[in-house]
């Protein structure tokens, strides 16, 4: 069998003009290889003493798991010396991470959530890594926060790695979405899910129902219609899923359809949502749109939002276009 490895796929994409340049190709390979190592740490878990709390908190005031910190450090150390990046930013760090002066600067910026769904680590449920690649300002040294605050439409590439029963990389550079499965025998990602598409018809939805009492009226109405099943206005039954890992939720939507929701709620009126625009919503929206789906904050396209801060939060509705358009229309009403 003629297997297409990630390295070969990216080289072919570069030759066909579907990948910007060799530097972006090497950057994606560096991130992918680092995620193999992160996945190994996740798999060893208690055997390596990496489970449990780190005893520290991130900029959002959330308690960090040991593996949050380990994965974050692994991505920084693997990418700081390659000459591919001008700076990095992470959900786990207050400020951008500049490339040390001892190393050459590159033309890209890397943003990442090193371990999405880390609350699941100690109970052995799927977690993942999310990343986004932006272009750095040409010829500029001393990258600042403002240089990261680019609309999601400007992403050069985005992807995630799911550490589940199989380790999978899902990637887009703006020319469709492709999935690669890690062959543990060779240590290489192999193309197994070419040109992934979000099924147009949805039968599932994912939302944290424990927050229902805090939702705004449009979300209450939309979910109520889904729950009413065949006897309700939608005329069919829906199943509900919730893993508390965005990577796992989005991967399920790519494979078998549905809609994922993390709406704004009334617990903190000043906060427009829970998920981070730069590290979660933008890269996942890019992937979903490239797979034929849609992504909205309830009022408009997520990728069109102008970021106002490195750790800005946003409401998220993504998945099958019909469902996302419907819940967005309910917000407009």
pLDDT of res. 55? 56
Token readout for 199 is 């099924």
From the list 314, 21, 332, 52, the residue with the least C-alpha distance to 173 is 21
Question: Per the annotation, where are the binding residues for Mg(2+)?
Answer: 91, 113, 115-116, 280
Q: What gap in Å lies between CA 92 and CA 55, rounded to an integer?
A: 13
- DSSP per position, 140-201: --S--HHHH---GGG-SEEEEEEESSSEEEEEESSS-EEEEEEETTTTEEEEEETT----SS
What burial letters (b/e) apply to 186-215, b meaning 16+ CB within 10 Å?
A: eebbbbbbeebebbeebebbbbeeeeeeeb
Burial (CB count within 10 angstroms: exposed 0-12, middle 13-18, buried 19+), residue 164? middle
What single-letter DSSP state applies at residue 311? T
Q: What gap in Å lies between CA 186 and CA 235, rounded to an integer?
A: 49
Helix, coil or strand: residue 248:
helix
| pLDDT per residue rounded down to tens, the chain (333 residues) | 579 999 999 999 999 999 999 999 999 999 999 999 999 998 887 666 666 665 565 555 565 678 889 999 999 999 999 999 999 999 999 999 999 999 999 999 999 999 998 888 788 889 999 999 999 999 888 899 999 999 999 999 999 999 999 999 999 999 999 999 999 999 999 999 999 999 999 999 999 999 999 999 999 999 999 999 999 999 999 999 999 999 999 999 999 999 999 999 988 888 889 999 999 999 999 999 999 999 999 999 999 999 999 999 999 999 999 999 999 999 998
Residue 171 phi/psi, 5-degree rounding, is -140, 145
Reported pTM: 0.95
Four-residue CA torsion sign, 120, 122, 128, 131 = positive
CA dihedral 95→116→273→267, nearest 10 degrees, is: -110
H-helix or E-strand spanning residue 14:
helix 6-15
pLDDT of res. 59? 58
What single-letter DSSP state applies at residue 212? G
Residue 73 phi/psi, 5-degree rounding, is -65, -35
Q: What gap in Å lies between CA 173 and CA 18, rounded to an integer?
A: 7
Pairing type for strands 188-193 and 177-183 reads antiparallel
Burial (CB count within 10 angstroms: exposed 0-12, middle 13-18, buried 19+), residue 239? exposed
Domains of the chain, start order: 6-193 (3.30.540.10), 204-332 (3.40.190.80)
Question: Per the annotation, where are the binding residues for substrate?
Answer: 116-119, 208, 274
Q: What gap in Å lies between CA 293 and CA 93, rounded to an integer?
A: 31
For residue 280, give every residue at least 6 positions away whose Cβ sits within 8 Å of its Cβ, in sequence order, or none.
Answer: 91, 113, 116, 130, 246, 316
Token readout for 273 is 């949502």
Q: What gap in Å lies between CA 249 and CA 244, rounded to an integer?
A: 8
Question: Per the annotation, where are the binding residues?
Answer: 91, 113, 115-119, 208, 274, 280
R_g of the chain, CA atoms, integer Å: 19
What single-letter DSSP state applies at residue 17? T
Whose tokens are 């409401």? That residue is 315
Q: What gap in Å lies between CA 291 and CA 199, rounded to an integer?
A: 9
pLDDT of res. 51? 66
Contact 303, 286 (CB under 8 A): yes
């Amino acid at each position: 069998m003629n297997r297409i490895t990630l390295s070969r796929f990216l080289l072919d994409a570069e030759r066909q003009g579907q990948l910007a340049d060799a530097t972006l190709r090497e950057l994606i390979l560096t991130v992918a290889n680092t995620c193999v190592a992160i996945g190994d740490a996740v798999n060893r878990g208690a055997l390596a003493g990496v489970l449990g709390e780190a005893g520290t908190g991130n900029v959002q005031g959330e308690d960090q798991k040991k593996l949050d910190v380990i994965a974050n450090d692994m991505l920084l150390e693997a990418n700081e010396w390659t000459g591919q990046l001008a700076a990095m930013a992470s959900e786990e760090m207050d400020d951008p991470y500049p490339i040390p002066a001892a190393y050459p600067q590159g033309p890209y910026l890397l943003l990442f959530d090193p371990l999405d769904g880390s609350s699941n680590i100690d109970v052995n449920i799927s977690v993942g890594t999310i990343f986004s690649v932006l272009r750095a300002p040409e010829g500029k040294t001393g990258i600042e926060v403002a240089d990261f605050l680019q609309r999601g439409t400007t992403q050069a590439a985005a992807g995630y790695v799911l550490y589940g029963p199989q380790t999978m990389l899902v990637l887009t550079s703006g020319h469709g979405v492709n999935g690669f499965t890690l062959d543990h025998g060779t240590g290489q990602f192999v193309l197994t899910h070419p040109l992934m598409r979000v099924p147009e018809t949805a039968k599932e939805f994912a939302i944290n129902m424990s927050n229902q009492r805090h939702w705004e009226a449009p979300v209450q109405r939309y979910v109520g219609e889904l729950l009413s099943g065949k006897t309700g206005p939608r005329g069919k039954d829906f199943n509900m899923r919730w893993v508390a890992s965005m990577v796992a939720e989005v991967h399920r939507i790519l494979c078998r359809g549905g809609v994922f929701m993390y709406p704004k709620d009334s617990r903190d009126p000043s906060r427009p949502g829970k998920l981070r625009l730069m590290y979660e919503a933008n890269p996942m929206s890019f992937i979903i749109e490239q797979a034929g789906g849609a992504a909205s904050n309830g009022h408009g396209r997520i990728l069109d939002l102008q970021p106002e801060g490195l750790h800005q939060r946003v409401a998220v509705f993504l998945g099958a276009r019909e469902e996302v358009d419907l819940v967005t229309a309910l917000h407009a009403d």
